[in-house]
Structure 1
Amino acid sequence: MKILPSIFNDVIGPIMRGPSSSHTAASWRAGKMAIQILNDELTQALIEFDKDGAWVTNYKDQGTVLGMDGGLLEIDMADDRMKRTDEIAEQRGIIIDYKISTFPNTHANSMQITLTGKKGGKVKILAASLGGGSFELQEVDGFPVNMKGDYHELFMWSNQDISKEINDILPDHTTLSINEKSGKYLYIYESFKSFDHVLIQHIDSLSEVEKVANVKPIMPITAGRQSNPPFSTIESLVEYSKNSNLSLGELGLMYEQHRSGLSEQELKDKMQNIIELIEGSIAIGLRGTSHEDRILPQQSHLIEKAEKSKKILQNSIINSIVKNVAAIMEAKSALEVIVANPTAGSCGTVGAAMKAVADDIGATMEDKIMAYYAAGLVGAYFAMGPGFSAEEHGCQVECGASAGMAAAGIVDFFGGTAEQALGAGSMAIQNMIGLVCDPIADRVEAPCLGKNTSAAVNALSSATMAVAGFAHLIPLDQVLETVVRVSADMPTCVKCTGLGGLAITPAAIALKEKLNQAK
């Protein structure tokens, strides 16, 4: 069975700090997995980026170092200590080096991680950031793997073929993969259940086994308990919604129940926690934030100030949207806790638009939960299509995706049908096809703030048009296919590399030099 994207693993989340989900969150996750595979107290780490990859120019400024250091040091992303990982590494006597080199890889966001432990343990891992905080470990010590942090996995290294012995003690609900290379073997158990301590001790005691590592899942939703929902394609989703008379929010909740194996109440509680964190980041931003290494000062408070002095429209929902977007983006740039939604670069759109509409109509928490599930389902289909990597597709998969998600969520708030919500998502994404990613000074602040604001207002207008009866013309699945096709024609310089667009204007170059000199 093909593993479906999870709304919590792949769309609304991760809960994180830092400027970029691709850089900061994905590297944190890769580091957190790598340290478990090492299974030794870390003394030294070497992180390499390929000279032809997308991260060569910006891995420091977009938070890759911050995320990787935090993951290797096993510091939770919500922990305030994430703001001083370099200091903590020094206190522990851990050396973490970063280097540009050359190594075989298949993704623009590839990294090679080599770890050394206090007891002599060593491991080399090839990993890739897939966008929106999603990641994949692709090789461990030269053996091919496909790890995304959503299973319990037990690694067993041996210089002998002990396949029969390992298979004979295979636990229930567990699969076994066997990798061989030059007379060396790597056996991996994979399960949605944790492995019994007695089993691990038994395997570790086998004379043929050189090393064992018990790797626990780090994603919110564990894989392996999935069942197929009653719809697969967007076309079948529309048909099912008509026959069942369910809203897109109800269908999104149903989808995640099938994906996760969790109960409806458990999933509602999870989404409520996410919503509270998002609205909390708005409150943090509005209270005022600061950070030395950022471009923009606090500006979110200026909307209310201008409104009070009657310089702008009074009591406008647009004012609320702009204020909310700015607040979330300011919290992000100050390294406060935010929710990538679906990415950190586009984290302002969904939360800002949804809160503004919810406040305007007096929505309950239950209303919000269902609207977020509507948004999440559109995001899940986006994840099945182009995904959320700006290094592959530009900002059309960040602010474009978030606009489509927010539009669907707003339709759910309005009481619209699932078909209308999908139509709104289609219109909103259509309006942002071809959007480039060209962050100024490699900080994910500008033009990201404006793009998030445009995406949020676009979401509101698209939802309004859809519920009023405007035609979206192009089905959502065909819009997503177009995103992929257009990205193939976009030059790499405008795909989050800092090598094109606004990023190479004289003003942007001067800003970057000023920030770098201040470090």
Structure 2
Amino acid sequence: MFESIAKIIEYEKKDNIPFWKCIQNDDCKENNMSKEESFTKMLNMYKVMKEADKNYNDKLYSQSGLVGTDGKKLKDARERGDLICGNFIGKVMERAVKMAESNACMKRIVASPTAGSCGVIPAVFITAQETFGYSDEEMTKAMYVAAGIGEVIASRAFLAGAAGGCQAEIGSASSMAAGALCYLRGGDGVMIANAAALAMKSLLGLACDPVAGLVEVPCVKRNVIGAVNAMTASDMAYAGIESKIPPDEVFDAMRTIGKSLPEDIKETGKGGLAATPTGIAIKKKISF
């Protein structure tokens, strides 16, 4: 198990293999499986993401009634040409909302790395593949890259909002997606590391304050921020911009910040947006 991005890059250079291969080799060793078995497992996970995106139900609402149909609204606005962000980012936004809504509506998703942040990676990956023609094989390799970054974050900090706030969920997903997108564009470990660091830095301190304690408001829309943030971080890294703070130190900072956050904004549903007058009213209204 890798505990630092620096160590992955060290292996990448020492063994002269790509970043994703370092992660696959580690997966095979840790789970005692062949490279073929590992690759098939990861490929199937990506296929489930694509199926979940395809099976979005634009008429379905969550039990609370707080979530549903917003993915369709974005799709309709994009197709009308009403989104100032354009078609590509529009698709990413749309997919991020759709996947997060599907999670709230109890549909099948891939927790990547968590259910609350399940829309970030699929939104970026599926749209990139659709737009630029990457093969499923290349997307699977990108999944390894994302998994490797997530593994390091989990080792050094948190992935759960209850432990570190939403920076641990949306922040981690965004960091994973940014690094993987850089890989798809031909970036090496250093570029991947810079993208991951830049993405996480932008979301440090993000509270986890679900209204009524449900992973719906503001969680679904935060998947959009995480996905778009991943693309901007990837672009910066691809342009040659370096994070002045290396990713491992950024993840350590996320851990420190997470431990410093009040419990009320770590998925308890007591503080932040959940404690606003409207948030309290919603909780009373939908109390199960």
Structure 2 gaps, min length 5: none
Q: Aligned to 2:258, which of 465, 487, 503?
A: 487
1:232 Cα deviation from its structure 2 partner? 5.8
The farther-off stretch of 439-448 and 237-246 is: 237-246
The farther-off stretch of 498-507 and 308-317 is: 308-317
TM-score normalised by L of structure 1:
0.53
Q: Aligned to 2:157, which of 386, 389, 395?
A: 386
Alignment of 1:423-442 (within 5 A): 423-442=194-213
1:464 aligned residue: 235
Q: Aligned to 1:350, which of 105, 108, 121?
A: 121
1:289 Cα deviation from its structure 2 partner? 2.4
2:30 aligned residue: 259
The reply on whether 1:308 has 2:79 as its aligned counterpart is: yes
8 Å contact from structure 1 (residues 390, 397) kept in 2: yes
8 Å contact from structure 2 (residues 78, 87) kept in 1: no
8 Å contact from structure 2 (residues 5, 149) kept in 1: no
1:293 Cα deviation from its structure 2 partner? 2.6
Q: Aligned to 2:278, which of 504, 507, 515?
A: 507
1:394 Cα deviation from its structure 2 partner? 0.7
Alignment of 1:218-257 (within 5 A): 233-257=4-28
Q: RCO higher in 1 or 2 (8 Å CA, sep ≥ 6)? A: 2
Q: Per-residue CA shift, 1:437-466, capped at 9, x if unaligned?
A: 001121111111222111111111111111
Counterparts in 2 of 1:509 and 1:479: CA distance versus 1, 3 Å:
same
Q: Per-residue CA shift, 1:319-360, capped at 9, x if unaligned?
A: 111111111111111111111111111111111111111111
As a proportion of its length, which structure holds more helix? 2
The reply on whether 1:417 has 2:188 as its aligned counterpart is: yes
The farther-off stretch of 400-409 and 388-397 is: 388-397
Give the partner amino acid of 2:165: G
RMSD over aligned Cα, in angstroms?
1.7
Structure 1 gaps, min length 5: 5-230
8 Å contact from structure 2 (residues 174, 229) kept in 1: yes
Q: Aligned to 1:395, which of 166, 170, 185?
A: 166
8 Å contact from structure 2 (residues 3, 155) kept in 1: no
Distance 2:85 2:232 in 1: 19
1:289 aligned residue: 60
1:416 Cα deviation from its structure 2 partner? 0.8
Distance 1:450 1:293 in 2: 16
SS of 1:291's equivalent in the other structure is coil
8 Å contact from structure 1 (residues 307, 314) kept in 2: no
Distance 1:383 1:470 in 2: 25
8 Å contact from structure 2 (residues 8, 19) kept in 1: no
1:433 Cα deviation from its structure 2 partner? 0.9
TM-score normalised by L of structure 2:
0.94
As a proportion of its length, which structure holds more strand? 1
SS of 2:55's equivalent in the other structure is helix
1:476 Cα deviation from its structure 2 partner? 1.2
2:90 aligned residue: 319
Give the partner amino acid of 2:27: E
8 Å contact from structure 1 (residues 307, 313) kept in 2: no
8 Å contact from structure 1 (residues 283, 327) kept in 2: no
User: Paired residues, what number?
Assistant: 288
Counterparts in 2 of 1:247 and 1:295: CA distance versus 1, 3 Å:
same
1:333 aligned residue: 104
Distance 1:337 1:308 in 2: 26
The reply on whether 1:476 has 2:247 as its aligned counterpart is: yes
Give the partner amino acid of 2:229: N
Distance 1:277 1:467 in 2: 29
SS of 2:243's equivalent in the other structure is coil
2:70 aligned residue: 299
Distance 2:130 2:33 in 1: 30
Distance 1:313 1:245 in 2: 43
Whichever of the two has the greater Rg, that structure is 1
Counterparts in 2 of 1:314 and 1:286: CA distance versus 1, 3 Å:
farther
